Chain A
Amino acid sequence: MALPLEGVRVLDFTWVVAGPVATRILADHGAEVVKIERKNPPPLGNRKLGLQCDLHRGKISAAINMSHPKGLELARRLAAKSDLVMDNFSARVMRTWGMDYESLRELKPDIICISMSGLGHTGPRSSYVSYGPTLQALTGYTLLMAERDGTPAGYGYSYADMCGGYTGALAALIALYHKRRTGEGQFIDLSQFEGVTAVVGPALLDIAVNGRTQSPPLWNSQEGPAAPHNVYRCAPDGADDDRWIAIAVHTEAEWQRLVKVIGSPPWANDAKFRTLYLRMRNREQLDAHVSRWTRERRAEEAMTALQAAGVSAGIVSNGVDMCARDPQLKERGFWAPLATRQGTTHVTGIPFKLSATPGAIRTLGPEVGQDNDYILGEILGLSKAERDEMIACEAVWP
């Protein structure tokens, strides 16, 4: 069976993280993602390894000079042969190029355009400059990812970019479905700020409906009462004393099982731990007891013992645990191999398995312009002489 998005072409002007995350999801499932880029893009890193490879694998690249009229014309002709045009610029850029939805629908009435800007194309702050971390700050994630004394302690990365990417991919798929049913394209104005706000969760309703000010979640469960519910320090692994296990006990049955696994210590019968309510009220003492048990054990060993008894527990995986040791991710082949000149590297895989078309992570990230000949020759039908002429007049970079 062909990959589900085979035959779908995406003209991709996105850069940094959120946009490329969206288009790579489409590429993994068969879409032809054609990156249009300038010759010397900002130095974000090697596309054959690491994050840039992760973001750009499976895509192809043309180096087209968008400030040259003939370059612009090439891009417009490519748009006319595409199903989707995606960017993450402010509204002005695509309009200046004549590549905005209103202009492109003249060329191709059923085109789908998705713009993934920071704060959206409309509204008083549409020209506000932002990145993932600043959007997280505006949303409340940064302030509420806090230590006990309220000091912000994260994020260490851009969750907003990942959310923006998933939202963009979902938007593309929904718009494609609609187009296949009705023949209609459309414009999607995706604000990454709204994308990450939409996943704050029920806390937003607690504010809007109950008028309650939100506190950092710390280790309170956000899905019903639970105790113990925390991360607990484990025995060092060699010189590494940064080993932790997360344990989450929601029900009475789980509590009984936990007590049994940790050897039914006398403190567990203490009146102050008798009910879930009491365990939550006395959680600091409870956590101290649980910590004494975990501190004596390797994190993996504690997890195995707890899970064998049906208690929710998982080691706090670091990069090495997750990418080199985790037997579950390994067995499911989550880290996808890609051949390089030096051997094999791995990239983030697809977190779901489709039974008939599991997706394909096919090629390393492209060098800028490496697919000029295919994109201009095969897709647009330019002869070798015409392509050389485009290069000679600097509408295309070799």
Chain B
Amino acid sequence: MSQNGALAGLKVLDLTDHRAELCSRLLADMGADVIKIEPPGGSSSRRIGPFLDDVPHHDRSLFNWFYNLNKRSIILDLSRPRGAEILLALARSADVVVESFAPGRLAALKLGWERLHGENPALVLCSLTPFGQTGPYRDFTADDTVLTALGGMLYVNGYPGHPPVRPLGLQAYHSAAYFGAIATMIAILGRDASGESQWIDLSMQAATAAAVEHVASSYFERAEAEPRRGTLHWSRYFRVAKCRDGYIMHCSLGDWTSLIEWVKSEGKADDLVAPEYDQVLYRYLMAEHLFDVLDEWVRAYRRDELIERAQLLRQPYATVRPPEALFDDEQLAARGFFVEVEHPELGRRFRYPGGPYLFNGTPWRVYRRPPLLGEHTGEVLRDSLGIETGELDALAAEGII
């Protein structure tokens, strides 16, 4: 097993705000050296709660912690010519710049693609913006909610006749971040093969639209808009039901004979014993009725009792749980999903969610807790650019760093 991460040696400059910080974190978690370049006052994520013990402070934002684990932080005022020069100097030895400024803003700072590419032809620039660098909506503004609207995610969640509902978490941003990391790695692999580098123009709206499983393919197949169906999954094989002590998820894709034998043995199978139901296509067609019957059946059950038995019969049933339950989940615990991260300046350790995969050779890991604002300014400018203490003091006095 390597001591270093898979991305050891990959140098990334992160110029993003709270909408796109996850992108470079995905790289940092695998060993890339990610330097977060923050404006004076810090990234917008530092002003967003929740905060540690509900005390707002730029070093106590849990929102900021989640998206910036494993990065270093420097403060650099890019709107000042000297600040922009320092960025260019850092970019000369970097592999990747990730940014989420409004289209045109980077160029206005004289840090656009042509300039960066001129300074360092091997540099990949990854730009994540709400709608991309081109097109009629290029200058539109959007938060995550507006992106989930224009990306087609909202419309298909909720009950027919009721307003759409929204997901837990900033899922438009998250989809965009994953695509941003994917695009960056593709561009890096291409650069290493051909010597040619490129500019990635990512649209968060398109990333959101890509992550809605069924809507586009249904339109291109049948020219129809998928409706809202409540908890009935579009495939019609899943629906939420209520047990005595909470909700569960039904699934009619498991072995039907063993499921219906069980339900029948409790006298609750009604007409589901009819042979037509042996066919998965019939179950698809009859989904509403089928789940209505099964809802009656599970009503008197306790959730754990039901799910345990269902899983013994290889029925893909699950408990509908709150996210707090993740912290007591035996499976996640056995695989070491949650990790302890020490915050020495607070004298405390906190449990963080871990990585989405187990690499046996180059594992996901915690290299460092999220950085305090500007914690590494001196270190980075000294080590990377050889700027001496005297000059650092002068830059700080001018408010550039």
Contacts and interface: CB of A to CB of B under 8 A. Distances in A.
A181 B9 contact: yes
Given A129-B254, A208-B327, A355 B198 contact: yes
Contact of B200 (A173, A335, A354): A354
A322 B316 CA distance: 33
B58 interface: no
Contact of B146 (A43, A142, A182, A246): A246
Contact of A314 (B147, B221, B315): B147
Interface in A320-354: 320-324, 326-329, 331-332, 334-335, 345-349, 351-354
Contact of A307 (B48, B140, B314): B140
B351 interface: yes
A329 B203 CA distance: 9
A174 B217 contact: no
Interface in A169-210: 169-171, 173-178, 180-182, 184-191, 193-195, 197-210
A138 B42 CA distance: 36
A231 B165 CA distance: 9
B358 interface: yes
A203 B169 contact: yes
A300 B176 CA distance: 24
Contacts of B322: 140, 143-144, 213-214
Given A134-B318, A140-B322, A144-B322, A167 B178 contact: yes
A133 to B, nearest CB: 4
Q: Is the interface of A mostly helix, strand, loop or mixed?
A: mixed
A60 B364 CA distance: 32
A3 B186 CA distance: 9
Contacts of A49: 220-221
Nearest to B127: A352
A67 B173 CA distance: 44
Given A142-B231, A173-B182, A345 B326 contact: no
A331 B217 CA distance: 19
Query: B50, B168, B217 — which one has the most chain A CB atoms within 10 A of its CB?
Result: B168
B205 interface: yes
A290 interface: no
Interface stretch (B73-81, B85-93, B233-241, B266-274): B233-241
A166 B182 contact: yes
B185 A124 contact: no
Contacts of A144: 168, 322-323
A235 interface: no
A351 B202 contact: yes
B323 A140 contact: yes
Of the four ranges (under 10, 10 to 19, 20 to 34, 35 or more), the interface on chain B belongs to 35 or more
Interface stretch (B208-216, B371-379, B384-392, B393-401): B208-216
B220 A347 contact: yes
A222 B169 contact: yes
Of the four ranges (under 10, 10 to 19, 20 to 34, 35 or more), the interface on chain A belongs to 35 or more
A199 B200 contact: no
Given A198-B355, A206-B62, A320 B165 contact: no
B143 A221 contact: yes
Given A4-B189, A190-B356, A316-B149, A147 B165 contact: yes
A132 to B, nearest CB: 8
Contacts of B140: 307, 312, 314
Nearest to A208: B351
Query: A189, A201, A207 — which one has the most chain B CB atoms within 10 A of its CB?
Result: A201
A155 B50 contact: no
A155 B158 CA distance: 8
A198 B354 contact: yes
Contact of A53 (B2, B217, B318, B335): B217
Contacts of A2: 193-194
A314 B166 contact: no
A120 B281 CA distance: 30
Interface string A14-30: 00010000000100010
B275 interface: no
23 contacts: A1-B194, A122-B335, A123-B332, A134-B317, A135-B318, A170-B182, A176-B185, A184-B2, A186-B360, A194-B354, A204-B323, A208-B327, A217-B166, A223-B144, A226-B143, A248-B146, A317-B152, A318-B152, A319-B216, A322-B215, A351-B202, A352-B183, A355-B201
